[in-house]
Structures are given as C-alpha cells and as structure tokens.
Amino acid sequence: MAKGKGGKKKTSQKWKLYEVQGGKVKRKNRFCPRCGPGVFMADHGDRWSCGRCGYTEWKKK
C-alpha cells in the first residue's frame, strides 16, 4: 500500500440488493438484459447501467 493511505478495506454491500417480503426474497434492482439473470444493473439518478458489460438505459423524465 502507498504511504499515507488508510488500510481499511470496504465490505461487500450485496445485502442491500435484496428484500424479504412474506417469506420470499425480492430483488430490488433490475437484471441486465445482455448479461442475463444474476447480474444487477446499478440504479443511478437518471439511468440504469450494468457494471459488467457497460449496457445503459436512460430513464424517462
């Protein structure tokens, strides 16, 4: 590590992508249409984007 950088490692936040409703697991984000089920798209303010393939869908206003 470089000098002066804090050695803290970020923890995984995958638990934020799921929600339990009535004993069933619900996924909060959409799946990527190119990559298929299992690859979530990131929800930005004005668009959905896939971190794996770069696919982007713009939200309508």
Question: Which residues are annotated as part of the binding site for Zn(2+)?
Answer: 32, 35, 50, 53
Residue 15, CA atoms < 13 Å, CB-side half-sphere: 2
Q: Provide the annotated binding site.
A: 32, 35, 50, 53
DSSP code of residue 45 = S
